[in-house]
């Protein structure tokens, strides 16, 4: 038996250490969290995508009493970006979450379904998507979706 070691790279930083464009993106994700519809979980998530050309689009989680009819903020955002701007790749995506006591102290990662959608969007355009996971105490920065999903399933397996 041979053991395979996979490595991912995550940078942890403070909001002030981000560049101006990334600070705007994180702020947009935080604002989007305020527009989520989460009456059941009370866990509000916002996402903001920076598209080629400097366009920022946002989305938030939308819950439904008939589970699993809702959708996560990340998928809402990426699907909107792909449908409204089909020729513009997502260069970066910021994600922020809050509950009844405020924004989470630590960054929250996307669920498995969202990771797969992010990977597909990255592969669709052939360029990496920077991921910014916001937490009130720190922000995780990843250089691409493969760092979220190192053993990923893509079109190359079909």
What residues act catalytically?
74
Contact 29, 48 (CB under 8 A): yes
Tell me how far apart the alpha carbons of residues 113 and 8 are, in angstroms, rounded to a whole number.
19
Quote the tokens at residue 48: 């903001």
Tell me how far apart the alpha carbons of residues 94 and 28 are, in angstroms, rounded to a whole number.
8
Which segments of the chain does DSSP mark as H helices, in order?
Answer: 20-33, 73-84, 112-125
DSSP string, 6-47: -----EEE-GGGS-HHHHHHHHHHHHHHTT-B-TTT--EEEE
């Amino acid at each position: 038996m041979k053991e395979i070691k996979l490595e991912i790279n995550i940078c942890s930083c403070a909001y002030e250490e981000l560049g101006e464009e990334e600070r705007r993106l994180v702020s947009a994700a935080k604002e989007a969290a305020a527009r989520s519809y989460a009456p059941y979980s009370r866990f509000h998530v916002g996402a903001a995508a920076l598209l080629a050309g400097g366009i920022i689009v946002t989305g938030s989680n939308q819950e439904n009493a008939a589970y699993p009819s809702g959708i996560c903020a990340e998928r809402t955002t990426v699907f909107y970006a792909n449908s409204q701007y089909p020729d513009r790749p997502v260069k970066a995506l910021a994600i922020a979450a809050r509950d009844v006591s405020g924004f989470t102290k630590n960054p929250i990662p996307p669920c498995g379904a969202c990771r797969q959608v992010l990977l597909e969007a990255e592969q669709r355009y052939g360029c990496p998507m920077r991921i910014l996971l916001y937490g009130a105490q720190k922000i995780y920065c990843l250089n691409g979706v493969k760092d979220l999903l190192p053993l990923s399933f893509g079109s190359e397996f079909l």
